[in-house]
Amino acid sequence: FFFDLCVFPMKIVLAFDGSPPAQAALQILQIVAHPEDEVTIYHGSKLTESTCVPEPVPEISSSEGGAAGALQSLATQLQQTLSLKAVNVMVRSVTDVTTDLMEACEDCDVLVMGTRGHGLIKRMVLGSVATHAVNHFKGQAICIAHAPPESTCDPTAAAVGPAAETQSASPVQYSLALPHPDADAGRRYLVFVDGTPSAMNAAQFVARLMGPADSARLVALYEHCVPTPAPMGLAAAAAMVQSQAQSRMLRAQQIVNDAMAVMEKDCRPGVAANVTATIVEVRDVKSGMLEFAQSKMAELPSVPGHLPRIIAVMGSRELGPAQRL
């Protein structure tokens, strides 16, 4: 998930539509929220321009009453389980969910939401609520990446027609995730840092979340140096590659040292000793980051219906479509 620095106590908005990404966001909310925080569960039902009726969503009833009932039950669970200051429910039917969500979050500190993982072209054409939130939300956005299960159909498509009405007729119930069976062993955070302010904010945020049994690993990746064609001998080319690799490794070392100093400053007493650092040389930072995270997550497999024990964290820069390309 992606975020910038947050200040406690917080006013948090959870964008929730009942989808798997939203339920993943709910799990992160259970980890991030503190007893003194105030949480609002937001559900926006999109109105079609031609008929001005809510567009059905398979996970939650398209009617405001149906959604409100399910979300109010969820709010009660959150209130009782996390001892939050307050949990409110906001259900609205609007023509533009993205704009309405930003207005609903105007006075909040943190927005927690899932991302459905649309491809770049689809995001550029249709727009993405998550992308808009990261780029334009004035507070701090925590976006949880969710990989939908493989299927021949589009799991993110909204149902339409009689089938949707039948699907939404039955009452919907949501439950909070249970603590991990090995929760006493603590939670592990993988914090990817690259020296940017948002990465340092991510490290600071994790430091504030860590409990006595938790641990964090700072990870700095640097790309493998590939010699460019040049009119020089093999020895000169090898020396140049070695020099570039040494420079990148030293830069990565400085990045983890800076991030370590940030975390040591904000960790609870005695917790800073649980922070370690790793520097990894990769051929490509994006794929290398994913491979590293997957290898570590495989060591602590998730348990269905329970909170995760290992979480990968990184900061997010504000990127427009051209920069994303």
Q: What are phi and psi of 288, to 5 degrees?
A: -65, -40
Query: Apex CA 62: angle with CA 61 and CA 67, to 5°?
Result: 50
**Do 38 and 99 belong to one domain?**
yes
By residue count, the chain amounts to: 325
**Do 165 and 224 belong to one domain?**
no
Asked if residue 277 belongs to a domain, the reply is yes
Asked if residue 2 belongs to a domain, the reply is no
Asked if residue 4 belongs to a domain, the reply is no
pLDDT of residue 63: 47
**Do 165 and 188 belong to one domain?**
no
**Do 119 and 209 belong to one domain?**
no
pLDDT of residue 228: 60
pLDDT of residue 232: 62
Six-digit token pair at 75? 């709010």
pLDDT of residue 116: 66
Asked if residue 77 belongs to a domain, the reply is yes
Q: What are phi and psi of 213, to 5 degrees?
A: -90, -5
Number of domain units in the chain: 2
**DSSP states of 56-85:** P-SSS-SSHHHHHHHHHHHHHHHHHHH--S
**Do 15 and 164 belong to one domain?**
yes
pLDDT of residue 231: 61
* Per-residue model confidence as pLDDT tens digits over 94-145: 888 888 888 888 888 888 988 765 544 333 333 467 777 767 777 778 888 7
**Do 164 and 17 belong to one domain?**
yes
Domain of 132 in residue numbering reads as 11-148+158-169
Asked if residue 119 belongs to a domain, the reply is yes
Q: What CATH number does residue 31 fall under?
A: 3.40.50.620
Six-digit token pair at 325? 């390309």
**Do 296 and 197 belong to one domain?**
yes
**Do 137 and 222 belong to one domain?**
no
Asked if residue 6 belongs to a domain, the reply is no
Asked if residue 85 belongs to a domain, the reply is yes
Please say whether the beta carbons of 241 and 227 come within 8 A.
yes
pLDDT of residue 173: 67
pLDDT of residue 146: 60
**Do 194 and 253 belong to one domain?**
yes
pLDDT of residue 65: 54
Asked if residue 286 belongs to a domain, the reply is yes
**Do 229 and 271 belong to one domain?**
yes
* Per-residue model confidence as pLDDT tens digits over 76-96: 999 988 888 899 999 888 888
Pick out the chain residues at pLDDT < 70. 1-8, 47-67, 116-128, 134, 146-173, 225-233, 317-325
